[in-house]
Structure 1
Amino acid sequence: MSVRAVRGATQLTDDTREQMLERVAEMVTEVMAANQLEVDDFISVIFTATSDLVAEFPAYAARSLGFGEVPLICARELEIDGSMPRVVRMMAHVETDRARAEITHVYLHGAAALRSDLTKVRSMPDE
């Protein structure tokens, strides 16, 4: 069993608590499905959010998915001129038998444009 890092990102259309919980839960469950992971496979998760997102902590959405015993932390994304607004990113450390090249990183909604070089893009239509 190896430790691997799995990346994900999603973009919100509005800074609301409901959309934060919905989009982060979607991102986490897509990462899990794409990499055949269970909650027990997660060692820790770091969430970052751009400074224009203040309605809710991204980690709260993961807690509601059963991540109560997984260490989670939220941080601010760097404020770089021209960067994409309303983005939540995650980097999860997991235990898996998958090789590094077999890890699927998941970028949803507008965030799919961030790292097309790194991911098998799972683009979702915005509501």
Structure 2
Amino acid sequence: MDWRVWAIRGAITVTENSEAAIGEAVTELLDALETCNQLDPSHIISATFSVTRDLDAVFPAAIARRRPRWDSVALLDVQHMHVEGSLTHCIRLLIHAQLPEMQCEVQHVYLRAARDLRPDLEIAPIH
């Protein structure tokens, strides 16, 4: 089987700047990305989280690292560039993963108010 490197994007907003709220949001986002893309963490090369400047209660990567098999993924947290009037309380994510080439496309996941960032990528809610 041939493999290809894919870039998978996602974003979610947080209700407040607290460890609990950020943890809940990161978990929701990663659950959705894993489900929509049948993503096995052992195939993830790296993941970069960017957060808006109003979120500093916990590193999203620290939340991800607690997930099963995410402890070996190269993770990075950065602060997202601030643009006046842009979406606040937002966590964005870029994952690079090796997936089978027969998986002809990936699903980018934008949840909560972050859906407004990419309305063209609207997906049905995950249950």
Question: 2: CA distance between counterparts of 1:123 and 1:44?
Answer: 25
Say which SS state the counterpart of residue 85 (structure 1) adopts: coil
Question: 1: CA distance between counterparts of 2:124 and 2:55?
Answer: 22
What is residue 37 of structure 1 aligned with on the other side? 39
Question: What is the Cα deviation at residue 120 of structure 1?
Answer: 3.3
Distance 1:123-1:86 versus aligned 2 partners, 3 A rule: farther
TM-score normalised by L of structure 1: 0.90
Q: What pairs up with 1:50-89 in 2 under 5 angstroms?
A: 50-66=52-68, 67-89=70-92
What is residue 116 of structure 1 aligned with on the other side? 119
2:96 partner letter: H
Distance 1:122-1:54 versus aligned 2 partners, 3 A rule: farther
What is residue 107 of structure 1 aligned with on the other side? 110
CA deviations 1:16-50 (Å, max 9, x no partner) are 10010110011011101000111111110000000
Give the number of aligned pairs: 121
Question: 1: CA distance between counterparts of 2:44 and 2:83?
Answer: 30
Question: 1: CA distance between counterparts of 2:96 and 2:115?
Answer: 21
Q: Percent identity?
A: 32
Cα contact 1:47–1:59 (8 A) shared by 2: yes
2:84 partner letter: D
TM-score normalised by L of structure 2: 0.90
Cα contact 1:87–1:111 (8 A) shared by 2: yes
Question: 2: CA distance between counterparts of 1:10 and 1:73?
Answer: 17
CA deviations 1:74-108 (Å, max 9, x no partner) are 00100101100000000000111222xx2100011
Question: Which of structure 1's runs of 4+ aligned residues deviate more than 4 A?
Answer: none
Question: 2: CA distance between counterparts of 1:72 and 1:94?
Answer: 12
